[in-house]
Protein backbone atom coordinates (compact mmCIF):
# COMPACT_ATOMS: atom_id res chain seq x y z
CA UNK A 1 0.00 0.00 0.00
CA UNK A 2 1.45 3.32 -1.02
CA UNK A 3 -0.87 5.64 0.88
CA UNK A 4 0.95 8.57 2.51
CA UNK A 5 1.29 7.97 6.25
CA UNK A 6 0.77 4.21 5.94
CA UNK A 7 3.87 2.15 6.58
CA UNK A 8 4.62 -1.53 6.36
CA UNK A 9 3.51 -2.27 9.92
CA UNK A 10 0.15 -0.52 9.56
CA UNK A 11 -0.53 -2.14 6.19
CA UNK A 12 0.39 -5.60 7.47
CA UNK A 13 -1.71 -5.18 10.61
CA UNK A 14 -4.66 -3.99 8.51
CA UNK A 15 -4.50 -7.00 6.19
CA UNK A 16 -4.21 -9.30 9.20
CA UNK A 17 -7.11 -7.63 11.03
CA UNK A 18 -9.46 -7.62 8.04
CA UNK A 19 -8.45 -11.11 6.79
CA UNK A 20 -11.04 -11.46 4.01
CA UNK A 21 -12.30 -8.17 2.52
CA UNK A 22 -15.39 -10.00 1.27
CA UNK A 23 -16.62 -10.37 4.86
CA UNK A 24 -17.77 -6.75 4.79
CA UNK A 25 -20.84 -5.63 2.88
CA UNK A 26 -19.18 -2.35 1.93
CA UNK A 27 -15.95 -0.51 2.62
CA UNK A 28 -17.86 1.89 4.89
CA UNK A 29 -18.65 -0.93 7.32
CA UNK A 30 -14.93 -1.35 8.09
CA UNK A 31 -14.83 1.99 9.92
CA UNK A 32 -17.56 0.80 12.26
CA UNK A 33 -15.82 -2.53 12.77
CA UNK A 34 -12.67 -0.73 13.97
CA UNK A 35 -14.72 1.56 16.23
CA UNK A 36 -14.14 4.80 14.35
CA UNK A 37 -17.78 5.80 13.99
CA UNK A 38 -19.49 8.14 16.40
CA UNK A 39 -21.64 6.84 19.22
CA UNK A 40 -25.26 8.06 19.11
CA UNK A 41 -27.23 9.17 22.11
CA UNK A 42 -31.00 9.32 21.64
CA UNK A 43 -33.51 9.86 24.38
CA UNK A 44 -36.83 11.60 23.91
CA UNK A 45 -36.10 14.88 22.18
CA UNK A 46 -32.32 14.60 22.63
CA UNK A 47 -30.30 13.30 19.69
CA UNK A 48 -26.57 13.87 19.35
CA UNK A 49 -23.39 12.15 18.26
CA UNK A 50 -20.83 11.49 20.95
CA UNK A 51 -17.29 10.16 20.99
CA UNK A 52 -16.14 7.27 18.83
CA UNK A 53 -17.69 3.92 19.70
CA UNK A 54 -14.38 2.01 20.20
CA UNK A 55 -15.33 -1.63 19.65
CA UNK A 56 -12.99 -3.86 17.66
CA UNK A 57 -9.22 -3.90 17.42
CA UNK A 58 -7.84 -1.10 19.60
CA UNK A 59 -4.29 -1.47 18.27
CA UNK A 60 -5.43 -1.12 14.67
CA UNK A 61 -7.51 1.91 15.60
CA UNK A 62 -4.39 3.43 17.17
CA UNK A 63 -2.31 2.68 14.09
CA UNK A 64 -4.91 4.31 11.83
CA UNK A 65 -5.02 7.36 14.10
CA UNK A 66 -1.22 7.58 14.05
CA UNK A 67 -1.17 7.27 10.26
CA UNK A 68 -3.77 10.04 10.00
CA UNK A 69 -1.67 12.22 12.31
CA UNK A 70 1.40 11.66 10.13
CA UNK A 71 -0.63 12.40 7.02
CA UNK A 72 -1.91 15.70 8.45
CA UNK A 73 1.35 16.90 10.00
CA UNK A 74 4.45 15.42 8.39
CA UNK A 75 3.43 14.28 4.93
CA UNK A 76 4.82 16.42 2.12
CA UNK A 77 2.93 14.63 -0.65
CA UNK A 78 0.02 16.47 -2.17
CA UNK A 79 -2.86 14.01 -2.09
CA UNK A 80 -6.62 14.44 -2.08
CA UNK A 81 -6.75 12.66 1.27
CA UNK A 82 -4.47 15.25 2.90
CA UNK A 83 -6.35 18.14 1.31
CA UNK A 84 -9.65 16.68 2.50
CA UNK A 85 -8.28 16.21 6.03
CA UNK A 86 -7.04 19.77 6.39
CA UNK A 87 -10.55 21.23 5.95
CA UNK A 88 -12.11 19.73 9.11
CA UNK A 89 -8.87 20.47 10.97
CA UNK A 90 -9.57 24.18 10.77
CA UNK A 91 -13.21 23.78 11.74
CA UNK A 92 -13.26 20.94 14.30
CA UNK A 93 -9.75 20.80 15.70
CA UNK A 94 -6.83 18.50 15.12
CA UNK A 95 -7.94 15.39 17.03
CA UNK A 96 -11.39 15.19 15.47
CA UNK A 97 -9.92 15.78 12.03
CA UNK A 98 -7.38 13.01 12.64
CA UNK A 99 -10.19 10.59 13.57
CA UNK A 100 -12.06 11.58 10.41
CA UNK A 101 -8.94 10.94 8.31
CA UNK A 102 -8.37 7.62 10.11
CA UNK A 103 -11.93 6.65 9.24
CA UNK A 104 -11.34 7.60 5.62
CA UNK A 105 -8.04 5.68 5.58
CA UNK A 106 -9.81 2.51 6.75
CA UNK A 107 -12.36 2.84 3.95
CA UNK A 108 -9.70 3.52 1.29
CA UNK A 109 -7.46 0.69 2.50
CA UNK A 110 -10.36 -1.79 2.45
CA UNK A 111 -11.35 -0.71 -1.06
CA UNK A 112 -7.75 -1.15 -2.20
CA UNK A 113 -7.54 -4.57 -0.56
CA UNK A 114 -10.81 -5.65 -2.15
CA UNK A 115 -10.04 -4.41 -5.67
CA UNK A 116 -6.28 -5.04 -5.70
CA UNK A 117 -5.60 -1.65 -7.26
CA UNK A 118 -2.87 0.71 -6.01
CA UNK A 119 -3.58 4.07 -4.37
CA UNK A 120 -3.72 7.08 -6.67
CA UNK A 121 -2.69 10.34 -4.96
CA UNK A 122 -4.86 12.56 -7.15
CA UNK A 123 -8.49 11.84 -7.87
CA UNK A 124 -8.59 8.79 -5.61
CA UNK A 125 -11.45 10.07 -3.48
CA UNK A 126 -15.05 10.55 -4.46
* Angle, helices 58-73/80-92, rounded to nearest 10 degrees: 90
- Residue ranges per structural domain of the chain: 8-115
H or E stretch covering 66: helix 58-73
- What is the value of pTM for the model shown? 0.79
Write down the pLDDT at residue 1: 44
The C-alpha atoms of residue 45 and residue 37 are separated, in whole angstroms, by: 22
Per-residue pLDDT of the chain (126 residues; tens, 9 = 90+): 478 888 899 999 999 999 888 888 888 888 888 888 877 777 888 776 777 777 778 888 899 999 999 989 987 777 788 888 888 888 888 998 999 999 999 998 998 989 888 887 664 454
Amino acid sequence: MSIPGIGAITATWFVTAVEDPGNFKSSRSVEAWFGLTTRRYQSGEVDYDGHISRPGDAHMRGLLYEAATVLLTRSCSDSDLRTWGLKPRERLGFKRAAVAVARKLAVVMHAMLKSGEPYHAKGAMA
